[in-house]
Structure 1
Amino acid sequence: MRIFKILFLGIIIQACLQSCSANTISKINPDQSGITDSLEFTNYFKVKMPIIKTPVFKKDTFDISKSGAKGDGIFLNTQIINATITACSNKGGGVVLIPGGIWLTGPIYMKSNVNLHIKRDAILQFTKDKNQYKLVEGNWEGKPSVRNESPISGNNLENIAISGTGIIDGNGDVWRAVKKDKLTESQWKNLVKSGGLVGEDKKTWYPSKSYLKGDQTKDASVIQEGKSLADYQDMKDFFRPNLLVLTKCKTVLLEGVTFQNSPAWCLHPLMCEDLTLKGVYAKNPFYAQNGDGVDVESCKNVMIENSTFDVGDDGICIKSGRDEDGRKRGMPTENLIARNNVVYHAHGGFVIGSEMSGGAKNLFVYNNSFIGTDIGLRFKTTRGRGGVVEKIYISDINMKDIAGEAIRFDMYYAAKDPVPLADEVREAPKVELFPVTDETPQFKDFHIRNINCDGAAKAIFMRGLPEMNIHDIYLENLTIQAKEGVELTEASNISIKNLNLMVGNSNPLINVDNSKNISFEGLKSFTDVGFLMNISGVKTTGVKISNSSISTSKDKITYTLGASSKALTIK
């Protein structure tokens, strides 16, 4: 009996030890990616990052298949899915389950307190039948516009989610026009054979005459006074919807799901609060015009983490309305964290603009990788936008095979692809001085550190306006391999510290034009530099080079277009 008690006690002790060990492991080794880094990030920049609330749902589950839905890819499940979502919401919320299968559907309308859960072996497939999508008064590129309703939408909702590990497919191929230059000859021939029509320039394929008419109509989507939606019906195909649009919603979670093949932008949260994207995969063809990954517009308290973007336009993009409409709205995108994400093909990895008229501030971006994007960090605007983008903190970004610039600030955005197509010739914008008004945009107070880039056309490019320079930009600890070095135009109060370059063309390595108070500290090159710096423009003053390992002899520096040798100080 005593032996039994001892053995029993030993079993209890062993179980307790295993339990304690398991609890210790769960506390030490959960997937807490970013916690230590977050502390380091906040301590270094001396910032306080936002706390984002996430939704909580009842456990009640509503399986669409038990309400008559069929996952055969043929039966149209629109009414059943929407009725199930409504029933779930009306009963206090819970989970609407999309089980394994191909679930063909038209537009889906989210409701409060509903978690739309897509199983791993499920495809929520939106129909090719455009008649299923009504024309509505929506929003496009920061302005009120005529649109086809989105495959998934929600307005003024609270506590909602789309979760799971399945696929949501927007059937975007039936909506999009395609440029010939972005396809192989064989792909182009097959596309033309599929139907639709080719434009007069023989360079663009259109899915229908309706689309072509919209494309040829100036401001086709602008809602004009005195017109009804019926007046736009003959151009209906042109008003491509975004795959998911959530407007003025609070406490939103998008987790685990693949959102793919969108007619236009993939994910568009507009004026939302407490928004989390976690483990999402946004996927569009590389040739998908306006095929952005996520466009966070005028939102507050946002987390984008552990997600992947492989799309046809900008990857992670921050917006806040366009021109006068955006300024009247007056809602910046603020308090956003973007961490531990990967962006593959995209026009830009992390992007702000160009529709940033309501401003952007308190954006915290770190531990992201950009592979094969046109631009790495891309900040774009133009005259007429107005708005202030400030208090931007970026750290620990890794880039590879960037087609254009690793870091690009441009205040002359012209709605063109950032990298010219083969044989495309672009003229530099005409430089004119305009008065500063509420239409004048601003980029200021950016803090960027710990950047590694293996391959780019150019390391750093900044182009401000004569009346409003890009200013107060702080770059530190950058190692960049590129064909060309640094170009700064109409920039002020720029600090670049510990810039390590491996550049194929140092002709020159650095070009500073009509800029002031530009500091290069700890400049280093891994290759011989024959031509270090060209300083140009009569307005250029206060350029400083200190602690450089590159020779700063006079024969390596030139002064052009009225610049004086007094503009440069070397220590």
Structure 2
Amino acid sequence: MRLRFFTLLCLCCCWFVSSEGETVSCSNIVSSGFRSDNISIADFGGVGDGRTLNTKAFREAIYRIQRLTRVGGTLLYVPPGVYLTEPFNLTSHMTLYLAAGAVIMATQDSSNWPLIAPLPSYGRGRELPGGRYMSFMHGVGVQDVVITGENGTIDGQGDLWWNKWRQRSLQFTRPNLVEFVNCRDIIISNVIFKNSPFWNIHPVYSSNIVVRFVTILAPRDSPNTDGIDPDSSSNVCIEDSYISTGDDLVAVKSGWDEYGIAYGLPSSNITIRRVSGSSPFAGIAVGSETSGGVENVLAEHINLYKMGIGIHIKTNSGRGGFIKNITVSHVYIEEARKGIRISGDVGDHPDDKFDPSALPLVKGVTIKNVWGVKVLQAGLIQGVKNSPFTDICLYDINLRGVTEPRTPPWKCSDVSGFAHQVSPWPCSELSSNQQGSCANYS
């Protein structure tokens, strides 16, 4: 029986903070519509018994969507069940719809996992030289793609990959769970992402991306399982989601050292709001790969528990690039090693060809309305010696906890900015006299 399902189509206009400090609204980011064509993975021999390999079914279904284009696109329905499959590519004008109780599960047989070229803004795999394993679900140059449903699950079965990484037996960089490269008009919603081998959701060189109402889960000791990493991408909205992983919950990136500088594509107009979660690393992060530049990021209404660092903006000498016009507000942090860290000495290098004199520019970072309890150290702001961080603005921040003996609540160097109603009171480098862009606070 041919099924008809209501689906979501989207054009993304993101909230961001303009260079003049004006907040720009993203309204009507989701509008309703119908896919004119609906098919089921069962039509292509899909079997959800958790044992049958469904690679052929998924690839044939997507080939059918790609070759037999229907006006308005096609919805691919995945019924309840566990569908084991190897990686597969997505195509334009499709909705992948997971019913309640549907699980698309990655095979743990890595021998048939495709290898692809490294991203040009990284120059090599992020973990190891050479290529990298293709993501479990992969889109290149596609548009109008929706991954949604009734909170079905995409399970990467990452244990095999994590163990190989720990044993140092991998020859190439582990696969992401979902990656979109050079894509636009993408929505991901109402899906659970579980046990990614590496990063979970990675839009790169892409635009008009919405990720909302998702749950992302991985054990706290799972290595490098970042939640959502917008990378050299623009107009990205991430909202109303829960993330609990082994690495940064959300990390905005834009390329790595000389390769990111040469590629030169910034991440811009990124909104993160109403996100909560837990991690031994950072809640909201920018970097450390920021060589193409990051600008106009707004993160607000964030709730973080059992964190390594609440808010972490990170770069390094040799990165080049810039980080500017970043606003983080209305954050609650409970149990963290550090509340706020803005650091210029974080992250490794892809090779020895990087230019150590390529210094990053960090300017215009506003953090306000932050409340923290059980925070061991309030903050650390460490700029780069010959490129100090400027216009670092802190307002209405209260970070209380059990300060470790002989550890000052704040530690700062090579930084200038302004602080207002911050407790414990920050370092002297942040004066109480308004200066620079901090004077625009209201």
CA contact (8 A) 1:498 1:521 kept: no
Q: Which of residues 132, 141, 157 in structure 2 aligns to 1:171?
A: 157
Q: What letter is aligned with 1:338?
A: I
- Which residues of structure 2 form unaligned runs of 5+? 1-14, 126-130, 350-354, 435-442
Structure 2 residue 363 is matched with structure 1 residue 444? yes
- Once the two structures are TM-superposed, the CA of residue 447 in structure 1 deviates from its matched residue by 1.5
- Once the two structures are TM-superposed, the CA of residue 144 in structure 1 deviates from its matched residue by 3.6
Q: Which of residues 107, 110, 113 in structure 1 aligns to 2:90?
A: 110
Aligned length in residues:
399
Structure 2 residue 432 is matched with structure 1 residue 520? yes
Corresponding residue for residue 66 of structure 1: 43
In structure 1, C-alpha distance between the alignment counterparts of 2:28 and 2:394, rounded to whole Å? 28
In structure 2, C-alpha distance between the alignment counterparts of 1:52 and 1:380, rounded to whole Å? 33
Q: What letter is aligned with 1:411?
A: G
Q: Which of residues 275, 292, 301 in structure 1 aligns to 2:235?
A: 301
Q: Which of residues 128, 146, 149 in structure 2 aligns to 1:161?
A: 146
In structure 2, C-alpha distance between the alignment counterparts of 1:380 and 1:52, rounded to whole Å? 33
Give the number of the structure whose residues are more often helix, by fraction.
1
The one-character-per-residue Cα deviations of 1:36-95 (angstroms, maximum 9, x if unpaired) are xx89x99x9533245685586514211111221110011110111121122124332221
Q: What letter is aligned with 2:341?
A: R
CA contact (8 A) 1:57 1:114 kept: no
In structure 1, C-alpha distance between the alignment counterparts of 2:85 and 2:356, rounded to whole Å? 50
- Higher RCO, Cα 8 Å, sep 6+: 2
Normalising by structure 2, we get a TM-score of 0.85
In structure 2, C-alpha distance between the alignment counterparts of 1:289 and 1:140, rounded to whole Å? 24
CA contact (8 A) 2:288 2:347 kept: no
Corresponding residue for residue 147 of structure 1: 132
The one-character-per-residue Cα deviations of 1:299-355 (angstroms, maximum 9, x if unpaired) are 110100001110011110000001111111111110111111112124100000010
In structure 2, C-alpha distance between the alignment counterparts of 1:132 and 1:59, rounded to whole Å? 34
CA contact (8 A) 2:278 2:307 kept: yes
Q: 1:141 to 1:118 in 2, by over 3 A?
A: farther
In structure 2, C-alpha distance between the alignment counterparts of 1:105 and 1:280, rounded to whole Å? 22
In structure 1, C-alpha distance between the alignment counterparts of 2:294 and 2:154, rounded to whole Å? 30
In structure 2, C-alpha distance between the alignment counterparts of 1:104 and 1:410, rounded to whole Å? 42
Task: After TM superposition, list the pairs within 5 Å mapping 1:12-23 onto structure 2.
Answer: none
In structure 2, C-alpha distance between the alignment counterparts of 1:302 and 1:168, rounded to whole Å? 21
Corresponding residue for residue 486 of structure 1: 410
Structure 2 residue 22 is matched with structure 1 residue 46? yes
Q: 1:313 to 1:52 in 2, by over 3 A?
A: farther
In structure 1, C-alpha distance between the alignment counterparts of 2:229 and 2:209, rounded to whole Å? 12
In structure 2, C-alpha distance between the alignment counterparts of 1:304 and 1:50, rounded to whole Å? 12
In structure 1, C-alpha distance between the alignment counterparts of 2:277 and 2:28, rounded to whole Å? 23
CA contact (8 A) 2:364 2:392 kept: yes
- Once the two structures are TM-superposed, the CA of residue 521 in structure 1 deviates from its matched residue by 7.2
CA contact (8 A) 1:53 1:251 kept: no
Q: What letter is aligned with 1:148?
A: Y
Q: 1:293 to 1:245 in 2, by over 3 A?
A: same
The one-character-per-residue Cα deviations of 1:519-550 (angstroms, maximum 9, x if unpaired) are 1379xxxxxxxxxxxxxxxxxxxxxxxxxxxx
In structure 2, C-alpha distance between the alignment counterparts of 1:368 and 1:130, rounded to whole Å? 36
CA contact (8 A) 1:310 1:346 kept: no
Q: Name whichever of 267-276 and 447-456 sits farther off.
A: 447-456
Corresponding residue for residue 338 of structure 2: 405
In structure 2, C-alpha distance between the alignment counterparts of 1:411 and 1:384, rounded to whole Å? 10
Q: What letter is aligned with 1:111?
A: T
SS where residue 79 of structure 1 aligns?
A: helix
Q: Which of residues 56, 59, 62 in structure 2 aligns to 1:79?
A: 56
- Once the two structures are TM-superposed, the CA of residue 465 in structure 1 deviates from its matched residue by 1.4
Q: What letter is aligned with 1:78?
A: T
In structure 2, C-alpha distance between the alignment counterparts of 1:174 and 1:436, rounded to whole Å? 37
SS where residue 176 of structure 2 aligns?
A: coil
Instruction: Give the percent of matched residue pairs that are identical in Structure 1 and Structure 2.
Output: 26
CA contact (8 A) 1:50 1:335 kept: no
The one-character-per-residue Cα deviations of 1:227-265 (angstroms, maximum 9, x if unpaired) are xxxxxxxx3xx4311111110111000101111111111
Normalising by structure 1, we get a TM-score of 0.66
SS where residue 328 of structure 1 aligns?
A: helix
SS where residue 450 of structure 1 aligns?
A: strand
SS where residue 290 of structure 1 aligns?
A: coil
Q: Name whichever of 297-306 and 81-90 sits farther off.
A: 81-90
- Once the two structures are TM-superposed, the CA of residue 141 in structure 1 deviates from its matched residue by 8.6
Corresponding residue for residue 423 of structure 2: 500
- Once the two structures are TM-superposed, the CA of residue 123 in structure 1 deviates from its matched residue by 0.9
- Once the two structures are TM-superposed, the CA of residue 282 in structure 1 deviates from its matched residue by 1.3
Structure 2 residue 109 is matched with structure 1 residue 129? yes
In structure 2, C-alpha distance between the alignment counterparts of 1:126 and 1:274, rounded to whole Å? 27
In structure 2, C-alpha distance between the alignment counterparts of 1:243 and 1:54, rounded to whole Å? 24
Give the number of the structure whose residues are more often strand, by fraction.
2
SS where residue 23 of structure 2 aligns?
A: coil
The one-character-per-residue Cα deviations of 1:190-224 (angstroms, maximum 9, x if unpaired) are xxxxxx8xxxxxxx952xxxx43x5xxxxxxxxxx
Task: After TM superposition, list the pairs within 5 Å mapping 1:321-336 onto structure 2.
Answer: 321-336=255-270
Q: What letter is aligned with 1:381?
A: T
Corresponding residue for residue 310 of structure 1: 244
Corresponding residue for residue 428 of structure 1: none
The one-character-per-residue Cα deviations of 1:389-428 (angstroms, maximum 9, x if unpaired) are 10112211111111x2111001011459xxxxxxxxxxxx
Corresponding residue for residue 69 of structure 2: 91
CA contact (8 A) 2:121 2:259 kept: no
In structure 2, C-alpha distance between the alignment counterparts of 1:394 and 1:510, rounded to whole Å? 17
Q: Which of residues 89, 92, 101 in structure 1 aligns to 2:81?
A: 101
CA contact (8 A) 1:49 1:364 kept: no
In structure 2, C-alpha distance between the alignment counterparts of 1:111 and 1:413, rounded to whole Å? 37
The one-character-per-residue Cα deviations of 1:75-120 (angstroms, maximum 9, x if unpaired) are 1101111211221243322210111001010012100001101111
